[in-house]
Structure 1
């Protein structure tokens, strides 16, 4: 591999910096052995540029610098980075490395290889489960820390690369995998950098819009902060407090998330920054002094009592302590003020699980204690052998298992094969007879273990039983079993009702629902379901029921039934003879100009020709086409961004697509008649069904039509909006 002059200069500079940082911790001969090892790899052509054309030797030195400066790794971690990231991981001789550099370095490299195998094994990296599995699999936490440092470095280096697809994949992984990992480990600075860079590469316009607005408002924001804190500073000094204050602007990613959550523009985010007052206070006076400062501030500025957060009286379970209050500052602007001591600030800043725990994630057994220990170990000037004592028994209440396709699923400890089956699909659970786990056949009662690969076995004759409620452990599976049992009762009841109707028809007796209602009460049942269930299992004699029915019918034979007045709600139309058509001769181009790829149209948003669309690779391998404004799109992009492929319409044919319109209007059947009349006159538009409900003088209906494309649909919507009495019409 050829090194450019710029690369050579930067490599020499980084070597000098690393030597200055950890040179005193290296063992005699480490440096020479390292250079010799890398030279041998270069000579053996085991080193090549990555997908972005970046130099792996330079990348490994940059990663090592981040690991030393930002995380605190020492000799073993740095040597592992330079040996692993700068060479071919598959070609490493772990025994050779152990002999040359020691057990710890070999152990870290083995961990990196093991994680890479896991990464390969599970192409579907569902964020929270995969992050937890990584933590469970990492015998040495330096493995995870190196992975985070490596991704931060890569995100810094790919700013100007041309491989957009690879850049997008790396950025999406940084967002849904590496940033949350950094967050869990208290590496907030790196976590924010990963989030901001991901946003910069994935949503370029949003990132620079916020950045430009922050830059444009920086002077006025800084000036406002000065005006706000000046009287506070003066008063606190008069009282005699020892303290310092700082203003903290939210990250660009954090602002963008708030804009989306609150559905507002940049100007609608009022809390762009927070003021932090940090007291230098003796331990025994911490709470008293914090509340004294609180009293001083709320005397100066009007507080919002709904925004008071008191984590002094009752600290968070992770040890986070602080006092937060939002007050009305100059120019009627709301400002968040955080009051804490140096000790409290140190814990919060060093991230002893504070933020991720108090934002609602629970059940991470033992993680607080472990994080505290690892932070202490990271700061220890001695080498980090102490971390080797920590086995990742953090998730003792959870097990992680794989589907045959490599999807990863999380279950509570004690969950069974039946739980797994119901997680996949209700029908799979209902027909489950057992499973093959790691190629061994087990019953559906078998308890799942970490790392199991589970393939469910089913039978068409299997039916859920009441005892299954004692076998499944998850609430989801229990609910599905109950639902299946209930559906079975309903199914049996439907069969019994059909049997009764058929027997009455054979005897030339007219079936009347009102008489049936009286029959059910006459025979001592409150619910029709109970009556039909007993009829199905034979506890109610069918012939006796028919005789009682005839008696009741004779008594009610002469009773007249008043027919209620007709309203818009009674208008129902269904065209069952019209088949629902998907694209047949229209052309949809998927991903990199691929045509002719099998796909289906998503039922959640019903895309039609002309819609802006994207493809989503399903677990079964097929591709579902969604509208870009599909209600499920944000969640798909957030959790499964790596499964999304580009798609666009090309080459219009004659296909028609089913779409649903939601209509609201005055409760007048004439209006509905006008609507159907307009549709019947439209060329190449077919009405499939219309269902109407009416209430409080208005009707609400779902209108299903077949149309060619979006332009035809927009013309139709425009005409229907002009119908007198129509209040609203929207596409569902």
Structure 2
């Protein structure tokens, strides 16, 4: 077993190789049989000397695993890899010889199985560190990691077969170290994987054997209640199927009738979920009927009810009323032969296909939780590939079908405590640190991957263990925001770094705003003024919002002076305002049309600096004509609505409008020159600039004259492409 060091028995001759090989290789062509013969001879002697903790030899384990793989109808490469897994697990150095003798593909399959076992064994460590809902999420991440780690889905199938044989030996032996841990691993990891991939013949046996080890009393109690062996149950279902199939054929309906007795683990789970006893279950034995057309479903339902008496309140028509996940089928329960209850499901082939491979996601119902849609689609694709295996005969085509990069959009790594972390593919140790905790990301100064120091921009791979080396106090680097340096891949981590720097800029703006306000208060002799009231009077909810606006230049000296002195222009008489809204819009010389006024002086408001074609509103000032604001300008809410007038953009030729841009970048030599070259190429006139640099972070403000918003958007897009620029936008 992968979790225990093998014991070695005295060497003795392996026997029975040829009869076993003839049986397992019977359906392969001559080259495949020859290759399997070489593999079988290669592993016979060394594996015969290894005794597993269950008392089974590694050779017997390998052959039994290969039998299971062959029963799954996989190719000869998969059977060969199943034989080689115990050898590679016991002697990792054998990899080189395996590659030389049997090729890279078989070696990669065997190594993938060994690696899956090593990662799966870590689940008990992760479970012990995390409890409750967090534990369920970790197990889910671990299942995704196991699928993401393999490039060939055959690796998962071989591992399931290997684990099933291990569990069979444990149950047969009855007393094996760590048997409870191995059974829990089966229940939490490998049985759900088999369920998702649709490998039902492995899934039910894994679940039953795990329950037998973990809850022997429950297992024995349900087995006694069934009062029959599994073979007896299956024989009973075969009889029901034969009777029903005969009646359906006599009715002239083409149908496929199959039986599926409920397994002990499934019964146990349903009793727990529904809180009922065994007598309350009506679907211990189940039959499924597939037909071509919907009308045939109801005909078959009538046949079933004519053969056996239906149980009250046990009929569900999910065709007329589909489930929320669009699952459709007829469900009924009847008293079948010998007075035993039987559940019958009736659906069309299309409904069945949708149920097995579509959004109905049968495994969601079985496991009782939601999963993301993209992951469901990947699982559905893998299950479809497993269906195709019966139709593919060419070995090369078969192997290619099973190769998949479906799970390459994510990478799964471990914390030092064994917790699984799900990150976007290409993520770095810095992404990992921010995923664990924002503060850890800020203080990240180095990283170890699998115990080895690596640069912080190293892309992480599936299954690696990552340890972050953090300072007691620290801050993120501006370099992390530079996409060319490759420190950050995930949008969440990038947003946290930007948020940190914005917070630092905010503190600087507040400090500058406080200094400006204090200076004005002293100049006007208003040092005892209530500042919170001043902020409210100026339309701000908090004092810090007012200080930030002052620091960023959003409130000019004149506006602050007016607010402190109470110098608010008087509202004109009603008759004066009324004259402004009596005529149709007329074109003004400044490119702005004001309703009811001909050739009135208009000026863009400095607080919002509007530009065409965004909606605008005019405000009648005293002696300065009409001040034009953006329709969504925050200052409009603080102005007298009686003096606001309708306005719209005219078509004045050659008119330009002042707009402020804010650029944040990593400071470097030549940065301002490169931005100026962009503005020059676009023929944009710059009327004012203001810049500041803090800890290699440059913040620049430009007042530019533009024709319209389209030109502004084009200029901002070009500036964002300048090396070192983190963001560029309109203020």
Provide the TM-score with structure 1 as the length reference: 0.53
Aligned pairs (5 A) from 1:202-241? 202-215=214-227, 236=248, 239-241=251-253
Contact 2:9 2:51 in 1 (8 A): no
Contact 1:246 1:276 in 2 (8 A): yes
Contact 2:535 2:542 in 1 (8 A): no
Report the Cα distance in structure 1 between the residues aligned to 2:312 and 2:243, rounded to whole angstroms: 16
The answer for unaligned runs of 5 or more in structure 1 is 490-517, 540-732
Rate the CA distance shift 1:123–1:328 in 2: closer, same or farther, 3 A. closer
Contact 1:323 1:339 in 2 (8 A): no
Contact 2:88 2:110 in 1 (8 A): no
Residue in structure 2 matched with residue 402 of structure 1 by the alignment? 414
Residue in structure 2 matched with residue 184 of structure 1 by the alignment? 196
Contact 2:78 2:154 in 1 (8 A): yes
Deviation at 1:217, TM superposition (A): 11
Contact 1:422 1:477 in 2 (8 A): no
Deviation at 1:408, TM superposition (A): 2.8
**Which of 341, 355, 361 lines up with 2:362 in the alignment?**
355
Report the Cα distance in structure 2 between the residues aligned to 1:18 and 1:134, rounded to whole angstroms: 28
The answer for unaligned runs of 5 or more in structure 2 is 1-7, 127-137, 507-529, 552-731
Contact 1:127 1:176 in 2 (8 A): yes
Residue in structure 2 matched with residue 411 of structure 1 by the alignment? 423
Report the Cα distance in structure 2 between the residues aligned to 1:160 and 1:340, rounded to whole angstroms: 40
Contact 1:401 1:409 in 2 (8 A): yes
The answer as to 2:298 corresponding to 1:287 is: no
Report the Cα distance in structure 2 between the residues aligned to 1:325 and 1:131, rounded to whole angstroms: 33
The answer as to 2:181 corresponding to 1:175 is: no
The answer as to 2:81 corresponding to 1:75 is: no
Report the Cα distance in structure 2 between the residues aligned to 1:83 and 1:231, rounded to whole angstroms: 46
Report the Cα distance in structure 1 between the residues aligned to 2:416 and 2:188, rounded to whole angstroms: 23
Rate the CA distance shift 1:35–1:118 in 2: closer, same or farther, 3 A. same
Rate the CA distance shift 1:22–1:413 in 2: closer, same or farther, 3 A. closer
SS in 2 for 1:340: strand
**Which of 28, 33, 38 lines up with 2:43 in the alignment?**
38
Deviation at 1:402, TM superposition (A): 3.1
SS in 1 for 2:363: helix
Larger radius of gyration: 2
Report the Cα distance in structure 1 between the residues aligned to 2:354 and 2:223, rounded to whole angstroms: 29
> Aligned-pair RMSD on alpha carbons?
5.9
Residue in structure 1 matched with residue 728 of structure 2 by the alignment? none
The answer as to 2:146 corresponding to 1:144 is: no
Question: How many residue pairs are counted as aligned between the two chains?
Answer: 497
SS in 1 for 2:91: helix
Aligned pairs (5 A) from 1:207-606? 207-215=219-227, 236=248, 239-243=251-255, 245=257, 247-279=259-291, 281=292, 286-290=293-297, 292-293=299-300, 307-310=316-319, 323-327=328-332, 329=334, 336-341=343-348, 355-356=362-363, 360-361=370-371, 362-364=373-375, 366-377=378-389, 380-383=392-395, 386-388=398-400, 390-404=402-416, 407-413=419-425, 420-425=432-437, 428=440, 439-442=453-456, 450=462, 453-462=465-474, 524=536, 530=542
Report the Cα distance in structure 2 between the residues aligned to 1:454 and 1:311, rounded to whole angstroms: 52
Aligned pairs (5 A) from 1:625-640? none
Report the Cα distance in structure 1 between the residues aligned to 2:233 and 2:61, rounded to whole angstroms: 38
Q: Deviations over 1:227-270 (max 9, x none)?
A: 99999889856643233645533221122222222333333444
SS in 1 for 2:329: strand
Rate the CA distance shift 1:14–1:312 in 2: closer, same or farther, 3 A. farther
Residue in structure 2 matched with residue 195 of structure 1 by the alignment? 207
Deviation at 1:376, TM superposition (A): 1.9
Provide the TM-score with structure 2 as the length reference: 0.53
Structure with greater contact order relative to length (CA < 8 Å, sep ≥ 6): 1
Report the Cα distance in structure 2 between the residues aligned to 1:128 and 1:80, rounded to whole angstroms: 27
Report the Cα distance in structure 1 between the residues aligned to 2:391 and 2:10, rounded to whole angstroms: 35
Rate the CA distance shift 1:223–1:154 in 2: closer, same or farther, 3 A. closer
Deviation at 1:215, TM superposition (A): 1.8
Report the Cα distance in structure 1 between the residues aligned to 2:98 and 2:414, rounded to whole angstroms: 32
Rate the CA distance shift 1:123–1:336 in 2: closer, same or farther, 3 A. closer
Deviation at 1:94, TM superposition (A): 3.8
Residue in structure 1 matched with residue 64 of structure 2 by the alignment? 62
Report the Cα distance in structure 1 between the residues aligned to 2:410 and 2:239, rounded to whole angstroms: 51
Contact 1:72 1:379 in 2 (8 A): no
Report the Cα distance in structure 1 between the residues aligned to 2:159 and 2:359, rounded to whole angstroms: 20
Report the Cα distance in structure 2 between the residues aligned to 1:91 and 1:47, rounded to whole angstroms: 16
Residue in structure 2 matched with residue 585 of structure 1 by the alignment? none
Q: Deviations over 1:629-682 (max 9, x none)?
A: xxxxxxxxxxxxxxxxxxxxxxxxxxxxxxxxxxxxxxxxxxxxxxxxxxxxxx
Rate the CA distance shift 1:124–1:412 in 2: closer, same or farther, 3 A. farther
Deviation at 1:196, TM superposition (A): 0.8
Report the Cα distance in structure 1 between the residues aligned to 2:212 and 2:113, rounded to whole angstroms: 28
Contact 1:436 1:442 in 2 (8 A): no
Deviation at 1:148, TM superposition (A): 1.0
Rate the CA distance shift 1:76–1:414 in 2: closer, same or farther, 3 A. closer
Report the Cα distance in structure 1 between the residues aligned to 2:398 and 2:117, rounded to whole angstroms: 24
Report the Cα distance in structure 2 between the residues aligned to 1:64 and 1:256, rounded to whole angstroms: 31
The answer as to 2:91 corresponding to 1:90 is: yes
SS in 1 for 2:411: strand
Rate the CA distance shift 1:422–1:334 in 2: closer, same or farther, 3 A. farther
Contact 2:121 2:185 in 1 (8 A): no
Report the Cα distance in structure 2 between the residues aligned to 1:221 and 1:40, rounded to whole angstroms: 41
Residue in structure 2 matched with residue 508 of structure 1 by the alignment? none
Moved more, 186-195 or 132-141: 132-141
SS in 1 for 2:290: strand
Report the Cα distance in structure 2 between the residues aligned to 1:9 and 1:435, rounded to whole angstroms: 52
Report the Cα distance in structure 2 between the residues aligned to 1:335 and 1:99, rounded to whole angstroms: 56
Q: Deviations over 1:31-70 (max 9, x none)?
A: 2x4454235636xxx942122232111111111111112x
Report the Cα distance in structure 1 between the residues aligned to 2:29 and 2:240, rounded to whole angstroms: 47
Rate the CA distance shift 1:427–1:113 in 2: closer, same or farther, 3 A. same
Report the Cα distance in structure 2 between the residues aligned to 1:127 and 1:351, rounded to whole angstroms: 24
**Which of 131, 140, 145 lines up with 1:128 in the alignment?**
140
Rate the CA distance shift 1:343–1:11 in 2: closer, same or farther, 3 A. farther
Deviation at 1:210, TM superposition (A): 1.3
Rate the CA distance shift 1:260–1:53 in 2: closer, same or farther, 3 A. same
SS in 1 for 2:187: helix
Deviation at 1:169, TM superposition (A): 2.0
Rate the CA distance shift 1:72–1:395 in 2: closer, same or farther, 3 A. same
Rate the CA distance shift 1:103–1:128 in 2: closer, same or farther, 3 A. same
Contact 1:141 1:387 in 2 (8 A): no
Q: Deviations over 1:93-126 (max 9, x none)?
A: 4443344334543343343455456568888464
Moved more, 226-235 or 92-101: 226-235
Contact 1:277 1:338 in 2 (8 A): yes
Contact 1:174 1:198 in 2 (8 A): yes
Aligned pairs (5 A) from 1:2-13? none
Rate the CA distance shift 1:243–1:415 in 2: closer, same or farther, 3 A. same
